[in-house]
Structure 1
Amino acid sequence: MGSDIITARVIDRLQELIPEEICTIENTSISGTHTHSGPAGFLQYILYQFTSLGWVEETASAFVEGIAQSIYRAYSNLQPASVYSNSGLLYGSNINRSPTSYLENPQEERDRYADQGDTDKEMLLLKLVADDGKELGMLNWFAVHGTSMNNTNVLISGDNKGYASYLAERYFNGPDVLAGKGDFVAAFASTNLGDVSPNTDGAKCTDTGLPCEPYTSTCHGNNMVCIASGPGKDMFESTEIIGKKQFDFALDLYKDATEKINGSISYRHSFIDMSNQEVTLGNGDTATTCDAALGYSFAAGTTDGPGSSTFQQGTTSGNPFWDWVKDFISEPTEEQIECQAPKPILLNTGDLTHPYLWDPVTVPISVFQIGKLFILNTPCEFTTMAGRRLREAVRNVLVDAGITDAMVTIAGLTNSYVHYVTTFEEYQAQRYEAASTLYGPHTLQAYIQNFERITRDLLRGESSVTNAAPSDLSDKQVSFLPPVILDRTELFQKFGGVRKQPKGQYSPGEEVKVSFNSANPRNNQRIEDTYLTIDRLGPDGKTWTTVFVDGDWNTKYVWELASESGVSYAHITWSIPEDQESGQYRVCHYGTRKLPFEEGEALLSYVVRLFSWNGASYAAASLFQLSSLFSFSSPDVATSSEYKEFMGCSKTFNIKNVDSASTSTSDWWAVSSFKASLWK
């Protein structure tokens, strides 16, 4: 998802890379695909940092540099081009995970969307073609969560949208171009996916196979055994199926995209204080938004990923114990309780400021115009009907201005993250999405009024009123994630050395598994590089050509911390495609190890630094690592530099009996990933 601190840092980095001030906070939209299988620690608010033990600079810096470099590369390749659009309805790729909440919306409103039902099925696609005919890329929006990989997964993955992008780029760039290196760029973006799941087999009780209780998503009172599943035999196949459906449909839309977008390009941006917005209701009355708060059902999680067994969805009243706990953390005022009703407040995050803000107060919104296309950049997850109401409201503003053929889409999770937005009616049911609607029952109306306002500003050529940007909390960030102290190997071993060699021969469809002596990947995020390669030996018997990297869907990279003294391993798996060319291959691993001393640093200075960074207890553990280093490690570890690159390759193995006459992008699959303990 988006992050206000990441967005700000990207803008700063682009000012270093690009001489002209092309990108500003007003005209930049950084939207997340919202995979639930990504590293954490890049959002500057406390609530989002529990799973990562606080702020993780390695994650944030990698995101900033990767995003900035991609924008810089686009800038460096500016050329005359045209944008074409197309849209259509894609069925069988999403379901509503809170269908009982959707039914709370008025019948006459639901009837208007009978062709799509309780989820948006429309995919809107843009096709980018240079004036010389070169195909440059595609961008599309389709509502589905990145939760095909369920919460048992411990690997980093782009999930179904990442897989769809992978297939598209491989199709247009060709199979010989490595992942992430081709000229054609395919973006499968998020939109109003708040209540939309890719797990199309639905929510069922894992112990009985029966459907879950629909209002609370429980099985005999237990939410932990109510799990939604995808269409595949496991989460990997489900990711492939939902991702390929999006790719196939996008490709069809792309091929038939002939409507050229012409007209002006413009934008408006505004920071708004979401805790204090006055809104006008349909009957003419006024109401206000509230200070941020999360309800009981937030802790229950969803059918895509259950939370705590103590809670269940649809909870509209508290219980004495958790009321006491929440009051101990921060007791909400009567005014706040009334404002958020019927949400029973579990976490009164808007009142929590220690050691820094728990949730955002000021949030960014913007509207981009490209001809008759209007993109609404929102920092949250709108539910299906909430998104429909927002698009309709903006479309009515455009119609009033004489633009009757406008295309309006929502770019979700953009530039920041502030949880969910439901309709007022859905809010009353207090399922997960409603409990996670931070600013109370009138949150949607506040967004609608502000988007109407900045859209009118854009059409009139007027500037938009804005609050100050949210504070940069970088200097307040805390982290309980210990730094990497050192990396070491076992006695007489070397970094990059192979612990487990491959077999001598494989057939297509088999898995190659190789293990190496390694180091903590946090030492080097290898931006635009790779932790592994699959290489094929050329016909000259000397030249190796890389055919797959860690960005491919058929490779897995798992890092294992084997001991607290700094010994670790890298386990690499390659699933051989059915059409893989016969020949000789090898698996290589690339890493960076950290040494105990910086250049010229004495042992005493190192000990002092340990204590000043981490306190006595962690320093003692680190000194144990240090003693282990000199007692057991190979002699080449202690050199003069702090970091040192290494690599290692397996022995050569053969792949035979492969029919390489046909190539299908649907056969390629990969998970470029780390074990979750990478960030521990």
Structure 2
Amino acid sequence: MLSWRMLAKIFVLLGVAGAEYHVGVGIADVTGPAAEVVMMGYADQDQRVTGIHMRLHARAFIFLDPEANKRMVYVAVDTWAATESLIQGLEGRLLMELPGLYSRHNVIIGPSHTHMGPAGTSPYYLYQVSSFGYVKQSTQALVDGMTEAVKMAHYNIRPAKVTMGLGPVDNTTVPGCPMPYCASRNRSPTSYLHNPEEERANYSSNMDYDMDLIKIVDAKTGEPMGTMNWFAVHATSMKSSSGLISGDNKGYAQYLFEKAINGPSSVRPAGRGPFIAGFGAGAAGDISPNTYGSWCQDGKSCETAQSVCYDHRGKPSNGECNAYGPGGGDILHSTKVIGERQYLAARHIFDGADRSIGRGVDYRTRYVDLTQYYFKYEDGRPGRTCPPAMSTTFAAGTTDGPSHVDEFGQNMTPTNGFLRFLGHLITLPPAEAKSCHAPKDILLYTGSMKAPYPYMPSRMAFQLLRIGDLIIAGVPGEFTTMAGRRTAKAIKKPLVEKGVVSPDARVVINNCASGYAGYVTTIEEYQHQRYEGGSTAYGPHTHGAMTNILREMAEEMAEGKVYRWPGAVPKIPTQDQMMEGQTDVVADDPPIGGKFGDVKTDVRGMYAPGHRVQATIWGAHPRNNLRRNSSFVSVWRLKDDGKTWHMVADDNDWELRFEWKRVGISASTVTITWEIPKDCPHGSYSLYYSGEAKHRSSIIKIEGHTRTFQVSNKTSYPYYDVPDVNMTERMRRTEQPTS
């Protein structure tokens, strides 16, 4: 007679044999140069990297249909956008290292859209202006890390149970979350109101609260392997006032989820797996994490069509109108809260995700010249796109990151006609372009700007991937809420009609996932010409054209056709043809009369959980070695045996920060700041720094550490906190909003 234990094993084996998918997961570090490179997202040349708040990662998920032997890869990566340089770079590496299995057709790069990573990864000059050109080190770090993550996932493929979940990010999944702005807020509500009233009546809000989620569990052991989700919110809790590399709110949400499953960093260092959580970007073009809204310094709301504040003379200023998160002027706290709320919602949905995702893997890719695309809407109306152009409202920036060029405002004519004249003088938009883009007030006619190489893409990619009842549309821009809703409906319709997916299937619009070419608003929102409309580069029919392309791809997928000629792959400049935006490190020197690794400012002797420890050490330039999959700084605890040390945190962790500063011509200091967790075990600790210096034409390893200090609540010694003046000044706002 078979025992219950034997029966259980048989059932497990039967489940493995019948697993609908084989899945692999992998994670790798993609953190780029941690000093002096301009950051990407806010286009602020003064926002240069000064260190690391949290390291950036690529998280790869491979789904293999064992019956059809068909596979696809989703790479969730902490970066601004899946630029064409990154797509082609990853494809080239995978073709060499895993030949015949992966290409850009079945691999999609899903960026978190953090604005806190190094710039210089786009091959188009408009997105290189702020970084003074292409930055090879930024791009290489991302390509290397993504390749490593995919390879790790590939060699980790095993039978898995894949289920779906869906739920809102609100006070039903995040207890006590303030409503209606739990973790997101529409930053252009006046534009949204331009959509037809009957269409808006179909939705309860001007933003989507829903989070789509995939749960992956090992079919043999029942252990969780990973999760992916998509929630529409910008990763802009961190502002341009910070120079520290960070995954922003989505990076923190990923960190929390992985830590909850994998254990604390003292048990398993963060960012190493085995469980991985990828938080993707939905249609968040008009969605901000700054839930307190937009305010002027006098405490008055500036959530208007123009988003400007006025001085006593009536002069408008976009730089004075700023959006705030739940932390008010404390952007680190805002980042933490919005990230935590996404994690809590994801965990709630994950725990209840019991709906089978369905069967099958499929994918389609198209390349389209969007400068001259003619099409018809479903009702027969003709539409056409235009060579790209950016408006004067593009120059205003958003309330998440205003340009501080106060002559420009959203949805308003510039107060300084001379600046507009200069833009026209540079680009000379012809009458045909003005007519095609109307009512856009063209500032830069980027379609004519080709030197030193094209400013914006002409040909761009579109991707459509299906895993059972989940369809992922990789789009080359930032779709607004209503634009995403319309496109999702258009994609889903033919797939449901042909019975490929169920009526309950979900369509995810994955922003910035197949390139980057600005924003995508509905044609009605475009008429309003706020920042998002002014940054919709290919004219008022941009959204209609992209929806038409994706609908055709869905029809091909629904009919099971081998897709027709997808068009030519976008041609981009080579590395040798592009301007390098960052010079090499010339030399590093130790302090006069000292050596690398000497402690400049040491720690105090006694601290308590919840307090801050800080020290400054003489170091070297971080660009000598990016130290991917490693760290610059870490915290070590002396074990109870009094002899051996154990690492408890490094610069993957939220509470440990690494800050670099140049001193004189070639010397450097490294400041280590550790916010001691409130549950930190009592004991002896030390802060440690490790790096490389370019000294006397050689790269040498350097290191240094603080003296030992105690963490304990059981002390009569006074608490000595070392205020982080640089960090405080960088992070704080001078005024906080009043409600």
What corresponds to 1:631 in structure 2?
A: none
What corresponds to 1:24 in structure 2?
A: 103
What corresponds to 1:82 in structure 2?
A: 161
1:93-132 equivalence runs, <5 A: 93-114=183-204, 117-132=205-220
CA-to-aligned-CA distance 1:194-239 (integer Å, 9 cap, x gap): 0000101001112x10111501001122211111100124111111
Is the contact between residue 579 and residue 658 of structure 1 (CA under 8 Å) also seen in structure 2?
no
Tell me how far apart the structure 1 counterparts of residues 122 and 555 of structure 2 sit (CA, whole Å).
31
What corresponds to 1:533 in structure 2?
A: 634
Out of 209-218 and 282-291, give the one that drifted further: 282-291
What corresponds to 1:8 in structure 2?
A: 88
What corresponds to 2:425 in structure 1?
A: 328
1:649-664 equivalence runs, <5 A: 649-657=705-713
Please, which of 487, 490, 498 is the counterpart of residue 390 of structure 1? 487
Please, which of 356, 378, 386 is the counterpart of residue 260 of structure 1? 356
Is the contact between residue 192 and residue 387 of structure 1 (CA under 8 Å) also seen in structure 2?
yes
Please, which of 564, 567, 575 is the counterpart of residue 675 of structure 2? 575
Is the contact between residue 90 and residue 147 of structure 2 (CA under 8 Å) also seen in structure 1?
yes
Please, which of 626, 629, 653 is the counterpart of residue 552 of structure 1? 653
What corresponds to 1:601 in structure 2?
A: none
What corresponds to 1:610 in structure 2?
A: none
1:597-612 equivalence runs, <5 A: 597=697
CA-to-aligned-CA distance 1:146-165 (integer Å, 9 cap, x gap): 11112212211111100000
Deviation at 1:467, TM superposition (A): 2.1
Instruction: Give the partner amino acid of 1:356.
Output: Y
Is the contact between residue 125 and residue 139 of structure 1 (CA under 8 Å) also seen in structure 2?
yes
Please, which of 128, 131, 134 is the counterpart of residue 55 of structure 1? 134
Is the contact between residue 269 and residue 464 of structure 1 (CA under 8 Å) also seen in structure 2?
no
Tell me how far apart the structure 2 counterparts of residues 127 and 11 of structure 1 sit (CA, whole Å).
27
Out of 570-579 and 209-218, give the one that drifted further: 209-218
Tell me how far apart the structure 1 counterparts of residues 218 and 632 of structure 2 sit (CA, whole Å).
34
CA-to-aligned-CA distance 1:83-112 (integer Å, 9 cap, x gap): 110101213110100000000001110110
| Structure 2 residue 675 is matched with structure 1 residue 586 | no
Please, which of 437, 444, 452 is the counterpart of residue 347 of structure 1? 444
Q: How many matched pairs?
A: 613
What corresponds to 1:431 in structure 2?
A: 530
What corresponds to 1:503 in structure 2?
A: 604
Deviation at 1:330, TM superposition (A): 1.1
Tell me how far apart the structure 2 counterparts of residues 301 and 358 of structure 1 sit (CA, whole Å).
18
Please, which of 184, 190, 196 is the counterpart of residue 287 of structure 2? 196
Q: Pairwise CA RMSD of aligned residues? A: 1.7
What corresponds to 1:618 in structure 2?
A: none
Deviation at 1:309, TM superposition (A): 1.2
| Structure 2 residue 140 is matched with structure 1 residue 140 | no
- Change in Cα spacing, 1:318 to 1:364, as seen in structure 2 (3 Å) is farther
Out of 642-651 and 282-291, give the one that drifted further: 282-291
Please, which of 312, 315, 324 is the counterpart of residue 229 of structure 1? 324
Runs of 4+ deviating beyond 6 Å = none
CA-to-aligned-CA distance 1:421-453 (integer Å, 9 cap, x gap): 000000000000000001000000111110011
Deviation at 1:32, TM superposition (A): 0.9
Deviation at 1:460, TM superposition (A): 2.1
Question: Which structure shows the higher helix fraction?
Answer: 1
Tell me how far apart the structure 2 counterparts of residues 282 and 309 of structure 1 sit (CA, whole Å).
41
Tell me how far apart the structure 2 counterparts of residues 140 and 467 of structure 1 sit (CA, whole Å).
31
Tell me how far apart the structure 1 counterparts of residues 491 and 278 of structure 2 sit (CA, whole Å).
24
Q: Structure 2: where are the runs of 5+ without partners?
A: 1-80, 171-181, 311-315, 716-726, 731-739
Tell me how far apart the structure 2 counterparts of residues 80 and 519 of structure 1 sit (CA, whole Å).
46
Is the contact between residue 581 and residue 658 of structure 1 (CA under 8 Å) also seen in structure 2?
no
- Change in Cα spacing, 1:532 to 1:554, as seen in structure 2 (3 Å) is same
Is the contact between residue 367 and residue 461 of structure 2 (CA under 8 Å) also seen in structure 1?
yes
CA-to-aligned-CA distance 1:507-526 (integer Å, 9 cap, x gap): 01111111111111111111
Instruction: Give the partner amino acid of 2:700.
Output: K
Tell me how far apart the structure 2 counterparts of residues 283 and 318 of structure 1 sit (CA, whole Å).
40
1:463-474 equivalence runs, <5 A: 463-473=563-573, 474=575
Is the contact between residue 508 and residue 577 of structure 1 (CA under 8 Å) also seen in structure 2?
yes
| Structure 2 residue 383 is matched with structure 1 residue 294 | no
What corresponds to 2:615 in structure 1?
A: 514
- Change in Cα spacing, 1:258 to 1:520, as seen in structure 2 (3 Å) is same
Tell me how far apart the structure 2 counterparts of residues 397 and 558 of structure 1 sit (CA, whole Å).
52
Tell me how far apart the structure 2 counterparts of residues 282 and 267 of structure 1 sit (CA, whole Å).
24
Tell me how far apart the structure 2 counterparts of residues 147 and 356 of structure 1 sit (CA, whole Å).
29
Out of 66-75 and 318-327, give the one that drifted further: 318-327
Tell me how far apart the structure 2 counterparts of residues 154 and 513 of structure 1 sit (CA, whole Å).
18
Query: 3-state DSSP class of the match of 2:112?
Result: coil
Instruction: Give the partner amino acid of 1:576.
Output: I
Instruction: Give the partner amino acid of 1:100.
Output: T
Is the contact between residue 314 and residue 430 of structure 1 (CA under 8 Å) also seen in structure 2?
yes
What corresponds to 1:418 in structure 2?
A: 517
CA-to-aligned-CA distance 1:61-84 (integer Å, 9 cap, x gap): 111111111111111111111211
Tell me how far apart the structure 2 counterparts of residues 510 and 314 of structure 1 sit (CA, whole Å).
46
Deviation at 1:34, TM superposition (A): 0.7
Is the contact between residue 109 and residue 514 of structure 2 (CA under 8 Å) also seen in structure 1?
yes
Query: 3-state DSSP class of the match of 2:681?
Result: coil
What corresponds to 1:313 in structure 2?
A: 410
Query: 3-state DSSP class of the match of 2:432?
Result: helix
Length-normalised TM-score, structure 1: 0.88
Tell me how far apart the structure 1 counterparts of residues 332 and 414 of structure 2 sit (CA, whole Å).
38
Tell me how far apart the structure 2 counterparts of residues 329 and 128 of structure 1 sit (CA, whole Å).
53
Is the contact between residue 454 and residue 464 of structure 1 (CA under 8 Å) also seen in structure 2?
no
Tell me how far apart the structure 1 counterparts of residues 417 and 631 of structure 2 sit (CA, whole Å).
52
- Change in Cα spacing, 1:299 to 1:658, as seen in structure 2 (3 Å) is farther
Please, which of 595, 602, 618 is the counterpart of residue 695 of structure 2? 595
What corresponds to 1:39 in structure 2?
A: 118
What corresponds to 2:704 in structure 1?
A: 648
Question: Which structure shows the higher strand fraction?
Answer: 2
Please, which of 73, 97, 100 is the counterpart of residue 152 of structure 2? 73
What corresponds to 2:240 in structure 1?
A: 151
| Structure 2 residue 540 is matched with structure 1 residue 441 | yes
Tell me how far apart the structure 1 counterparts of residues 679 and 695 of structure 2 sit (CA, whole Å).
43
What corresponds to 2:552 in structure 1?
A: 453
Q: Structure 1: where are the runs of 5+ without partners?
A: 598-641, 660-672
Query: 3-state DSSP class of the match of 2:109?
Result: coil
| Structure 2 residue 375 is matched with structure 1 residue 279 | yes
Is the contact between residue 120 and residue 581 of structure 2 (CA under 8 Å) also seen in structure 1?
no
Instruction: Give the partner amino acid of 1:424.
Output: I
Tell me how far apart the structure 2 counterparts of residues 39 and 480 of structure 1 sit (CA, whole Å).
11
What is the percent sequence identity of the aligned residues?
38
Deviation at 1:475, TM superposition (A): 2.4
Deviation at 1:480, TM superposition (A): 4.4
Tell me how far apart the structure 1 counterparts of residues 588 and 520 of structure 2 sit (CA, whole Å).
45
Instruction: Give the partner amino acid of 1:245.
Output: R
Query: 3-state DSSP class of the match of 1:475?
Result: coil
Deviation at 1:455, TM superposition (A): 1.2
Deviation at 1:596, TM superposition (A): 4.2
Length-normalised TM-score, structure 2: 0.81
Deviation at 1:419, TM superposition (A): 1.1
Please, which of 180, 187, 190 is the counterpart of residue 278 of structure 2? 187
Is the contact between residue 508 and residue 658 of structure 1 (CA under 8 Å) also seen in structure 2?
no
Is the contact between residue 593 and residue 645 of structure 1 (CA under 8 Å) also seen in structure 2?
yes
| Structure 2 residue 464 is matched with structure 1 residue 367 | yes
Deviation at 1:658, TM superposition (A): 7.6
Please, which of 260, 275, 297 is the counterpart of residue 171 of structure 1? 260
Query: 3-state DSSP class of the match of 1:163?
Result: helix
What corresponds to 1:602 in structure 2?
A: none
Tell me how far apart the structure 2 counterparts of residues 222 and 318 of structure 1 sit (CA, whole Å).
10
